[in-house]
A and B are shown apart, each in its own frame.
Chain A
Amino acid sequence: MNSQTAIAADNDGKSTWKFLLRELKPKGRWLTPFNIISIPIILFGIALIVIRFWKGIGAITNLSQEIPWGLWIGFDVVTGVAFAGGAYVITFMVYILNMRQYHSIVRVTVLNGFLAYLFYAGALLLDLGRPWNVINPIIGNNFGVSSVLFLVAWHFLLYMIAQLIEFSPAIAEWLGARRARKILSAMTLGAVIFGITLSMLHQSGLGALYLMAKDKIHPLWYSEFIPIMFFVSSIFAGLSMVIFEGSISHRVFFSQISEKNHHKQRGIVLGLSKICTGSMFVYFFLQLLVFIHGKRWDLINTPMGYWYLLEMLGFVLLPMTLFFYSYRSGNIMLIRVAAILTMVGVVLNRLNVTIIGFRWDMAVHYVPSWMEIVVTLTVLFTELWIFRWVINRLPVLRDSPAWVKEENN
């Protein structure tokens, strides 16, 4: 079924460059609903980005002196990175715990994670007032080692390299580089171990960023355990994203997935929902402990208290129960519903810490401008474009070319 897959080395007589040029061209139909929606938004977003660099950040955002971080940090970076957590969880299961049955989703999850980091770290550049100094913490003697953001910045960079190494065998297979593939595959385990360690630290680090904003975040969302909460929730945030993305990929890229992997998907989703149940239980229990030890009962009977209850009961406890129930009954449809509810809950939680609960006591609240939302959509759609481009060309969802199996045997 991979007969149409173009492989550079198979094109006798044609150079790799010609192959790359041909691969750059779009494949398939142009006027799909996705293209019709995304192209105008991307073009419009680019125009807004030009205005932002020309007139300053204030020209297109609603940020203020009291609320210096808005949608681009709170949603694009903090929430986006939580959803990209699937990559470290899946690589942990496959390469460390040797749970081989999940092997078929490693590549697509790592690709998703890598692109998420690439684009959300890219979105960070839009938010930097003086982006030309972005290399300062990386080179030179400007190491602000006491800063959590310093740690997060370095970890973003290193983790992107680790993910690229994890994904690189797929690139080598695409280009038909047999020797390179062998070398790169040998580096996988090292990259995975390094990547998991980095992920643990920067997933929690994103929460630790807000530790110094002690007086600014609503007490229901602030505790010294924010880093641990962020880390634990990134496990089920990432896995819910894997379930959600898988259910879409299996429809959109149906033809690329082998019969065997189609059949496997059911077992994978059931297994993931089991892990989601466990990690959500740990998370819910942690939240409960913090709530009780913090003696927060008197905060509950307020509007923010109801909002907190909605997040905890409606978008943690309910999807957790759904995951558990549907795993027991084998109901894939219900698992998807639970995954979507969980994702809404993670978005709510991250926004509650970074935006909604941040300066909740101010008279004027921050609401993102429509232009900030368009730029966020631009980032998201561009990422999806690249994702589709890669999926259509590289052996990510489809099986590796035949020569890989020959070499392994």
Chain B
Amino acid sequence: MDLHRRDFLKVMCATGLTLATGTALNATPKNKYTPEFHGILYDSVRCKGCRGCEYDCADANGLPEPEPTKKIRGLRKTDENHRTVVNEHKTSKGLVYVKMQCMHCNEPACTAACLTQAMSKTKEGPVIWRGDKCMGCRYCMVSCPFDMPKFEYHSPNPKIQKCTMCYDTRVLKGELPACVENCPNEALMFGTRRELISEARRRIYEKPGEYVEQIYGEHEAGGSGWLYLSPVPFEELGMNTSLQNASYPALTKGFLYSVPSVFVLVPALLLGIQQATKKNHPNDDSDDE
């Protein structure tokens, strides 16, 4: 390598200038504020099944008013007009009420499934849906282990309806989600997930006879924003207790990770085979391409 004096001086000048004027580059995130995931603790021991949260939810999200309790027969599911429902279960400890809505998973299957980032896990924890991105493919519905995204099948401009924990409308303004704010029995509690889990543990510890020793949502499907306390085993409340504890997006990880290697290795392999077999077949066919 031959380096002339002139070039050497140039390099030295450039290095010196960079050292003198450049600023240090460290791998630090631009935005230092990283909020913790928030969630809601639902205590079915405290819930009296007044269904006030259903009305508040419909009101806050512009959905039709829920039907009166007298007209309700059997267990209901959330649908495109009900982002949340409260069901009554006859259990070994009498009537127990359970509120159902999107669980706001830590690693949501719907978000991993969404090819347009319409389903999105916010920094604060709620999983939201953005209509300007969604193409209505309903892959989120196929993937969600809780079956929570609901689709407006009878609309030419259909939306996905599910609980957003009132993210845009209330939480960002520092208010509580509509259901939490108006619950008369303090069955709902909003906070960081960490606080909620320790609060749930405290309740179980202080009244061991009243609660089963499990917080539904602590580990299910990789953990969720909504956490449940119950006086009876969760199977009795119709909740799916056979879900895996690993997150659902982990199921497609292996496949997705293999894609780059296939993309690099297979074309090279194909080209190799093509070159290797080329000579074996001299033009035995006239209609060659």
Residue with the greatest number of chain A CB neighbours at <10 A, chosen from B137, B156, B158, B283: B137
Enumerate 11 A-B pairs (CB-CB under 8 Å) in ascending A order: A56-B154, A96-B277, A97-B273, A130-B135, A137-B116, A169-B289, A188-B289, A196-B266, A201-B263, A224-B254, A227-B255
Q: B147 contacts which chain A residues (CB < 8 A)?
A: 65-66
- Whether the Cβ atoms of A212 and B142 lie closer than 8 Å is yes
Q: Does A271 contact B (CB under 8 A)?
A: no
- Whether the Cβ atoms of B249 and A68 lie closer than 8 Å is no
Q: A210 contacts which chain B residues (CB < 8 A)?
A: 142
Q: Does B143 contact A (CB under 8 A)?
A: yes
Q: Does B179 contact A (CB under 8 A)?
A: no
Q: Does A360 contact B (CB under 8 A)?
A: no
- Whether the Cβ atoms of A144 and B274 lie closer than 8 Å is no
- Whether the Cβ atoms of B255 and A148 lie closer than 8 Å is yes
A window 72-97: CB within 8 A of B: 92, 95-97
Q: Does A149 contact B (CB under 8 A)?
A: yes
- Whether the Cβ atoms of B252 and A130 lie closer than 8 Å is no
Label chain B's interface by main secondary structure: loop
Q: Does A153 contact B (CB under 8 A)?
A: yes
The smallest C-beta distance from A342 to any residue of chain B, in angstroms, reads 26
Given known pairs A55-B156, A129-B151, the reply for A96 and B273 (CB within 8 Å) is yes
Q: A100 contacts which chain B residues (CB < 8 A)?
A: 281, 283-285, 288
- Whether the Cβ atoms of B143 and A213 lie closer than 8 Å is yes
Q: B132 contacts which chain A residues (CB < 8 A)?
A: 133
The smallest C-beta distance from B212 to any residue of chain A, in angstroms, reads 22
Q: Does B100 contact A (CB under 8 A)?
A: no
Q: A209 contacts which chain B residues (CB < 8 A)?
A: 139, 142
- Whether the Cβ atoms of A197 and B115 lie closer than 8 Å is no
Q: Which residue of B lies closest to A135 (CB)?
A: B135
- Whether the Cβ atoms of A197 and B116 lie closer than 8 Å is no
A56 and B113 CA atoms in complex are apart in Å by 23
Select one of A193, A214, A227 contacting B248, CB under 8 A.
A214
Select one of A68, A101, A216 contacting B285, CB under 8 A.
A101
Q: Does A307 contact B (CB under 8 A)?
A: no
- Whether the Cβ atoms of A98 and B137 lie closer than 8 Å is no
A193-B267, A224-B254 known, 6 other contacts, Cβ within 8 Å: A69-B142, A96-B274, A100-B288, A129-B137, A196-B270, A200-B262
The smallest C-beta distance from B265 to any residue of chain A, in angstroms, reads 9
Q: Which residue of B lies closest to A196 (CB)?
A: B270
A window 58-72: CB within 8 A of B: 58-59, 61, 63-66, 68-69
B window 97-145: CB within 8 A of A: 109, 111-118, 131-139, 141-143, 145
How many of B's residues come within 8 Å of A, CB to CB? 66
Q: Does A302 contact B (CB under 8 A)?
A: no
- Whether the Cβ atoms of B251 and A68 lie closer than 8 Å is no
Q: B267 contacts which chain A residues (CB < 8 A)?
A: 193-194, 197
Q: Does A32 contact B (CB under 8 A)?
A: no
Interface code A359-376, partner B: CB below 8 Å = 1, 0 otherwise? 000000000000000000
**Residues of B bordering A, CB below 8 Å:** 77, 79-80, 109, 111-118, 131-139, 141-143, 145, 147, 150-158, 240, 242-244, 248-249, 251-252, 254-256, 259, 262-263, 266-267, 270-271, 273-274, 277-278, 280-281, 283-289
- Whether the Cβ atoms of B152 and A56 lie closer than 8 Å is yes
- Whether the Cβ atoms of B136 and A144 lie closer than 8 Å is no
Given known pairs A98-B281, A133-B136, A212-B248, the reply for A55 and B240 (CB within 8 Å) is no
Q: B157 contacts which chain A residues (CB < 8 A)?
A: 130
Q: A385 contacts which chain B residues (CB < 8 A)?
A: none
The smallest C-beta distance from B286 to any residue of chain A, in angstroms, reads 7
Q: Does A399 contact B (CB under 8 A)?
A: yes
- Whether the Cβ atoms of B133 and A98 lie closer than 8 Å is no
- Whether the Cβ atoms of B116 and A133 lie closer than 8 Å is yes
- Whether the Cβ atoms of A97 and B277 lie closer than 8 Å is yes
Q: A227 contacts which chain B residues (CB < 8 A)?
A: 255
Q: Does A408 contact B (CB under 8 A)?
A: yes
Interface code A136-160, partner B: CB below 8 Å = 1, 0 otherwise? 1100001110111111010000000
- Whether the Cβ atoms of A150 and B115 lie closer than 8 Å is yes
- Whether the Cβ atoms of B251 and A215 lie closer than 8 Å is no
- Whether the Cβ atoms of B112 and A212 lie closer than 8 Å is yes
A213 and B287 CA atoms in complex are apart in Å by 48
Q: A55 contacts which chain B residues (CB < 8 A)?
A: 154, 156
Q: Does A176 contact B (CB under 8 A)?
A: no
Q: A211 contacts which chain B residues (CB < 8 A)?
A: 251-252, 255
A window 350-409: CB within 8 A of B: 399-400, 405, 408
Select one of A65, A142, A212 contacting B249, CB under 8 A.
A212
- Whether the Cβ atoms of B138 and A103 lie closer than 8 Å is no
- Whether the Cβ atoms of B113 and A149 lie closer than 8 Å is yes
Q: Does A54 contact B (CB under 8 A)?
A: yes
The smallest C-beta distance from B152 to any residue of chain A, in angstroms, reads 7
Q: Does A53 contact B (CB under 8 A)?
A: yes
Select one of A144, A193, A201, A399 contacting B287, CB under 8 A.
A399
- Chain A to chain B: the 6 pairs with minimum beta-carbon distance, closest first: A129-B136, A58-B153, A130-B136, A150-B115, A68-B138, A68-B141
Q: Does A233 contact B (CB under 8 A)?
A: no
- Whether the Cβ atoms of A56 and B135 lie closer than 8 Å is no
Q: A57 contacts which chain B residues (CB < 8 A)?
A: 151, 153, 158
- Whether the Cβ atoms of B154 and A59 lie closer than 8 Å is yes
Q: Does A240 contact B (CB under 8 A)?
A: no
Q: Which residue of B lies closest to A69 (CB)?
A: B142
Residue with the greatest number of chain B CB neighbours at <10 A, chosen from A99, A142, A201: A142
- Whether the Cβ atoms of A131 and B135 lie closer than 8 Å is yes
Q: Does A104 contact B (CB under 8 A)?
A: yes
- Whether the Cβ atoms of A147 and B114 lie closer than 8 Å is yes
Q: B252 contacts which chain A residues (CB < 8 A)?
A: 148, 208, 211-212
Given known pairs A56-B158, A224-B254, the reply for A215 and B145 (CB within 8 Å) is yes
- Whether the Cβ atoms of A142 and B287 lie closer than 8 Å is no
Q: Does A205 contact B (CB under 8 A)?
A: yes
Q: B242 contacts which chain A residues (CB < 8 A)?
A: 215
The smallest C-beta distance from B232 to any residue of chain A, in angstroms, reads 22
- Whether the Cβ atoms of A58 and B266 lie closer than 8 Å is no
Q: A224 contacts which chain B residues (CB < 8 A)?
A: 251, 254
A169 and B137 CA atoms in complex are apart in Å by 35
- Whether the Cβ atoms of A215 and B270 lie closer than 8 Å is no
